[in-house]
A = this chain, B = another copy of it.
């Protein structure tokens, strides 16, 4: 089992790479190939677009690679997502792809292209409090398809999709907008003010494409900055309100978020 790690947005911290390699070595039965591009740096990004795209495409086309694991979030995968999903080599179709947060741009583009994507922990999550559990969960899913790694509310055979709310908002109306028809949509976010959560919920639930989803469940909305004045509502009430306004069923809470407890959401559980 060979897992390639690439960084389509920001640079992977070397100590995170070392820690994840140590966990994989202790586990055994898995070869972790951390692409040198993960440590490249060009302003905000882990190398220029062309370098990030080339590393990703190289691993997608490599027949010896069983899974492509996104190193971390940040910002930037949207800049290469459409190109990464174009003219796919056959070898790209037999792999799993795992990530979340900014990597949601790639999840959306790759899911549209028929690839097997999942929303879940990334390599740099090892640096979080309790991060080893997140890495173990990711490997359990990638290597063993462990059911215990899955978000517990997923329904076998039903389509589910999970996104960072702000990333989903940035996908609405683009060429890589996800096809949410009939899917359970799970959203999460981090470090966004309540007024921004409210605005993003206005936006995504106002989209005809999003309204085709079966329901919305809310993952964790963490590290919400203070609102001045006090907003007058909290994240769950905001999500419930916009679901009600747009006639989308609210399905309750989901066990995903920017933390070590973040569970795995394969976009098409029936195919796994």
Contacts and interface: CB of A to CB of B under 8 A. Distances in A.
Interface of A: 41-45, 75-76, 78-79, 169-177, 194-195, 198-200, 202-203, 206-209, 227, 229-233
B232 A170 contact: no
A258 B244 CA distance: 34
A173 B209 contact: yes
Which DSSP category, helix, strand, loop or mixed, fits chain A's interface?
loop
Given A44-B232, A203-B174, A208-B173, A195 B75 contact: yes
A78 B202 contact: yes
Looking at A42, A229, A231, which has the most chain B CB atoms within 10 Å of its CB? A229
A173 B198 CA distance: 16
Nearest to A75: B195
Contacts of A78: 199, 202
A146 to B, nearest CB: 34
A202 B78 CA distance: 8
Nearest to A105: B202
Nearest to A202: B78
Contacts of A230: 43-44
Contacts of A209: 173
A136 B173 CA distance: 39
A180 to B, nearest CB: 12
Nearest to A74: B195
B229 A195 contact: no
Contact of A43 (B45, B177, B200, B231): B231
13 contacts: A42-B232, A43-B229, A43-B230, A43-B233, A44-B194, A44-B231, A75-B198, A169-B203, A170-B202, A172-B172, A173-B177, A173-B206, A173-B208
